[in-house]
């Protein structure tokens, strides 16, 4: 037990330290909100795609694409969204708040948070986990726009001045096809299947850029923690965070564990569903005229508490021999 505690602590500690450092730097004014937002965009548009490419381009992906875990996780994300859409109206009647609760409840900070955690567990990059998380990101991108349109159209303030829906299927498809994260995955996959040699200097640059993702990503998460409106939205925020960090991973880990899936596949499901709410949920809530303040609180609280819940998930799995 003590050995498992030590190993689990060593896995989680670097991420917790980076988040704490980011929070501290923000408090003393060395890292501003605007600068943190710029770094976050740089991570999403440049460094994370490079990180995903680096995880794939030199690997044999023939088995990864035959892995049913990606399909399971993608279907689970859709099921989770449907479940939340049925449950949330029993907790909250305002469509603007419902939108933030549902969106934050199913949309995970997968590539920014889950991939580094998964790599930390194994000590190396697992291509299968990249494929699984990419499938979850794809589903998130596809369903988020119509979902937020649905809730915005139900808000009285917007319904009173709506002329026509701004939803465009063509625009949505083109939008997710141009997502940098998915482009990084597609480039890495194509490079792997074509077996293109990577010159050593170029490989060094790709590896160097990739290595900056973990410290920057978690420092930004720490810097953007904000609990200013928690009191006003406390009940909704607590319910959403508990569902996101505890209920969702529990529901979707039952089958993989019972069926004896491999460690890599179980961890892929764990990090895909147990990661905190995605930062983009705040921007989308603001754009679609829903409750952005509450979305920000869910993102902040789930990011902070996920350090505890992820620790407990990993420790529990090690104790019961699910992962070694």
CATH number for the domain including 146?
1.20.1530.20
Q: What is the per-residue pLDDT for 227? A: 72
In a domain, 165, yes or no: yes
In a domain, 41, yes or no: yes
**How far is 150 from 155, CA to CA, in rounded Å?**
9
Query: Which H or E run contains 164?
Result: none
pLDDT per residue as tens, the chain (324 positions): 777 777 778 878 888 888 899 889 988 988 888 888 888 788 878 888 888 788 778 777 766 667 789 899 999 999 999 999 999 999 999 999 999 999 999 998 877 777 788 878 887 777 788 888 888 887 887 788 788 888 888 887 765 555 555 555 565 566 566 677 778 878 888 888 888 888 889 889 988 988 888 888 888 878 877 776 667 788 999 999 999 999 999 999 999 999 999 998 999 999 999 999 988 888 788 888 888 888 888 988 898 898 899 999 999 998 888 987
Q: What is the per-residue pLDDT for 104? A: 94
For residue 154, give every residue at least 6 positions away whose Cβ sits within 8 Å of its Cβ, in sequence order, or none.
95
Query: Which H or E run contains 285?
Result: helix 280-287
Domain count of the chain? 1
Q: What is the per-residue pLDDT for 287? A: 80
Check: CB of residue 113 under 8 Å from CB of residue 95.
no
Q: What is the per-residue pLDDT for 168? A: 58
Establish how many alpha carbons lie within 13 A of residue 301's alpha carbon, considering only the half-sphere containing its beta carbon. Answer: 26
In a domain, 271, yes or no: yes
Q: What is the per-residue pLDDT for 193? A: 83
In a domain, 296, yes or no: yes
In a domain, 324, yes or no: no
Q: Which domain holds residue 247?
A: 2-319
In a domain, 62, yes or no: yes
**How far is 253 from 10, CA to CA, in rounded Å?**
23
């Amino acid at each position: 037990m003590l050995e498992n505690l030590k190993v689990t602590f060593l896995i989680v500690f670097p991420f917790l330290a980076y988040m704490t450092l980011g929070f501290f730097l923000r408090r003393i004014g060395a890292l501003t909100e605007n600068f943190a937002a710029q770094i976050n965009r740089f991570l999403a548009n440049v460094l994370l795609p490079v990180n995903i490419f680096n995880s794939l381009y030199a690997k044999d992906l023939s088995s990864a694409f035959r892995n049913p875990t990606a399909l399971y996780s993608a279907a689970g994300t859709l099921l989770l969204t449907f479940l939340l859409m049925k449950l949330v109206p029993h907790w909250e009647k305002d469509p603007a708040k419902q939108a933030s609760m549902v969106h934050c409840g199913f949309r995970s900070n997968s590539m920014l948070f889950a991939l580094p955690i998964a790599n930390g567990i194994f000590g190396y990059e697992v291509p299968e986990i990249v494929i699984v998380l990419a499938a979850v990101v794809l589903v998130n991108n596809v369903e988020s726009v119509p979902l937020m349109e649905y809730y915005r159209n139900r808000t009285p303030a917007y319904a009173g001045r709506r002329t026509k829906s701004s939803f465009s299927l063509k625009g949505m498809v083109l939008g997710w096809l141009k997502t940098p994260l998915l482009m990084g995955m597609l480039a890495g996959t194509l490079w792997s299947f074509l077996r293109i040699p990577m010159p050593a200097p170029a490989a060094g640059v790709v590896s160097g850029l990739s290595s900056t993702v973990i410290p920057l990503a978690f420092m930004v998460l720490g810097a953007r923690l904000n609990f200013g409106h928690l009191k006003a939205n406390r009940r909704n925020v607590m319910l959403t965070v508990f569902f996101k960090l505890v209920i969702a991973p529990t529901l979707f880990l039952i089958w993989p564990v019972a069926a004896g899936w491999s460690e890599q596949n179980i961890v892929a499901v764990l990090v895909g569903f147990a990661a905190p709410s995605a930062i983009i949920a705040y921007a989308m809530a603001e754009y679609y005229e829903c409750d952005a303040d509450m979305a920000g609180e869910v993102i902040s609280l789930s990011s902070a508490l996920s350090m505890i819940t992820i620790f407990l998930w990993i420790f529990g799995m090690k104790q019961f021999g699910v992962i070694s």
